[in-house]
Amino acid sequence: MEPLSDEQFALRVETIQKTLLNVELVAVSELVLDRASGSFPLPLKTLDAIHLATAVLWRDREDRNVVFATHDKHLGLVARMTGFNVLGR
């Protein structure tokens, strides 16, 4: 992979900064843990279930088209099966 030019690097930093303006951190609450311990279309590891449960609750609360981002192929599949548009695998 070729090193980025200063201009390419600056553009990527700008893109990341703009993207982070649309990211909101959500606390792992009792409600999230309750949802994570429930069922999903396929079995999930604990942290994956917490990640997906958080997204499900956020989507339900905000009534928005939430995009689910993951690098994990299995988690992405379960998120798609749960009705999410998935960014990543």
Q: Measure the CA–CA gap between 6 and 85, rounded to whole angstroms.
A: 33
Strand, coil or helix: 88: strand
Q: Measure the CA–CA gap between 40 and 53, rounded to whole angstroms.
A: 9
68 with 79: CB under 8 angstroms?
yes
Instruction: Please spell the DSSP secondary structure of 63-85, one letter per residue.
Output: TS-PEEEES-HHHHHHHHHTT-E
Q: Measure the CA–CA gap between 3 and 86, rounded to whole angstroms.
A: 29
The model's pTM is 0.76
Taking the chain (89 residues) in runs of 10, the rounded mean pLDDT of each run is 92 94 88 97 97 94 85 97 91
